[in-house]
Structure 1
Amino acid sequence: MRRKGKGTELRNQTLKSEARKLAHRTVSMDPEALAAGVDATSLGIEPITPVAINAYHQWSGPVSYPWDDVLKWKTKDAKGLDLAFWYEGELCGLCYATPRKSTICIKIILLQGRTGRTHTLRGWIAPMALLTTEFYARRLGCTEIEVQEPDSGAIPYYQKLGFHFDTTDRLVFPLDDQ
């Protein structure tokens, strides 16, 4: 069991930063991403900031996810993983995942790609979010990733990424046998 107290917040920030960097490096060497035109020098995997929230409000379509709340959640949830996916200065996707008080499971609470128009990262937001969350979850010692309350239309896509419904009807991605 990991120690709580002094240094824990810094450790969590370091683990999140390392997960973002490792995911960036992995995507930058992925043959499929390269074939799709994803240039690592134009890709940013960063924390969600007020700048990202403002960029989100520029997306077309209804504002149906509580991204504004993520800034508050981050202050209360030291282990929460917040991801903003940028490409050439354009916000292309957002993700928020957290283990809450679990040492077994990290949950993807919110995940959304840019609505409206096409962009270079279309089709890559969920895989990059999963990859970053997986790197972070493994460092925390979690054994699975769960999608909390998945949109029914997105379930087949999650299943293509390796998620399945467990015996308790949760959409999970196991980490122990990967």
Structure 2
Amino acid sequence: MRRRISKLRYQIFRSQARTLTHELLCRQPELLSGDVELDQVRIEPITHEAVSASLEWLTSGCLFPWEDIVDWKDSDPKGFDLAIWFGSELCGLCYASPRKSRLCIKVILLQGNPSRSHPLRGEIAGLALTSIDFYARMLGCQEIEIQDPIEGAKSVYEALGFTWTAKGRLVIQVDP
């Protein structure tokens, strides 16, 4: 019974983190560049619909294993999944997990829609990390780490405030 309560608690935390991110955007629309219709932005869990939509990204030649997320979610009760939509267009996906850590949540996968014309271009990492930050605080984590960042994304993370540790980890501190 205790395990079931814990799973429910994490499910509630995930939902709250997504909701808080959307509420923050509605209160501070200047967080997004340009004139984005905020009522079109949806921040949801990764579903089969999102995985199917991500298959359209194959033309870019780089697609992370999003179809595996469904299994990961079943075996990782603390895992955090995120699909960012603009209307019916999937703009980004993210999966993070503290795994067995109480101090650090790791961004395992983060990918934006490779289309140069999607309305949230350049905003996916910031939106995902805002949600992860909310979730990390609920879990009591002290830092967010980017696990194995791809070369082209390192500068994006650094611009968002991530720094390299002496051990070669790309991290940002979570404010309590």
Normalising by structure 2, report the TM-score. Answer: 0.94
- For residues 71 and 107 of structure 1, the distance between their equivalents in structure 2, rounded to whole angstroms, comes to 18
- For residues 6 and 115 of structure 1, the distance between their equivalents in structure 2, rounded to whole angstroms, comes to 38
* Structure 2 residue identity aligned to 1:15: F
* Structure 2 residue identity aligned to 1:115: P
Normalising by structure 1, report the TM-score. Answer: 0.93
Give the 3 Å change call, closer, same or farther, for CA 35–144 of structure 1 in structure 2. closer
Where 1:132 maps in the other structure, the secondary structure is helix
Q: Which structure has greater helix proportion?
A: 2
Distance apart, 1:140 and its partner CA? 0.0
Match of 2:117 in 1: 118
Give the 3 Å change call, closer, same or farther, for CA 30–68 of structure 1 in structure 2. same
2:12 is aligned, of 1, 11, 14, to: 14
Does 1:51 find its partner at 2:46?
no
- For residues 31 and 8 of structure 1, the distance between their equivalents in structure 2, rounded to whole angstroms, comes to 34
Match of 1:169 in 2: 168
* Structure 2 residue identity aligned to 1:55: A
State how many pairs are aligned. Answer: 174
Distance apart, 1:84 and its partner CA? 0.3
Alignment of 1:97-136 (within 5 A): 97-136=96-135
- For residues 63 and 97 of structure 2, the distance between their equivalents in structure 1, rounded to whole angstroms, comes to 20
Distance apart, 1:117 and its partner CA? 3.3
RMSD between aligned alpha carbons?
Answer: 1.4
Distance apart, 1:97 and its partner CA? 0.3
- 2:141, 2:174 within 8 Å by CA — same for their partners in 1? yes
* Structure 2 residue identity aligned to 1:11: R
* Structure 1 residue identity aligned to 2:20: L
- 1:28, 1:39 within 8 Å by CA — same for their partners in 2? no
Unaligned runs of 5+ in 2: none
- 1:28, 1:38 within 8 Å by CA — same for their partners in 2? no
Where 2:60 maps in the other structure, the secondary structure is coil
- For residues 161 and 68 of structure 1, the distance between their equivalents in structure 2, rounded to whole angstroms, comes to 28
* Structure 2 residue identity aligned to 1:131: T
Identity %: 48
* Structure 1 residue identity aligned to 2:105: I
- For residues 165 and 35 of structure 1, the distance between their equivalents in structure 2, rounded to whole angstroms, comes to 27
- 2:32, 2:123 within 8 Å by CA — same for their partners in 1? no
Unaligned runs of 5+ in 1: none
Distance apart, 1:35 and its partner CA? 5.3
- For residues 29 and 48 of structure 2, the distance between their equivalents in structure 1, rounded to whole angstroms, comes to 33
- For residues 129 and 35 of structure 1, the distance between their equivalents in structure 2, rounded to whole angstroms, comes to 15
- For residues 111 and 104 of structure 1, the distance between their equivalents in structure 2, rounded to whole angstroms, comes to 20
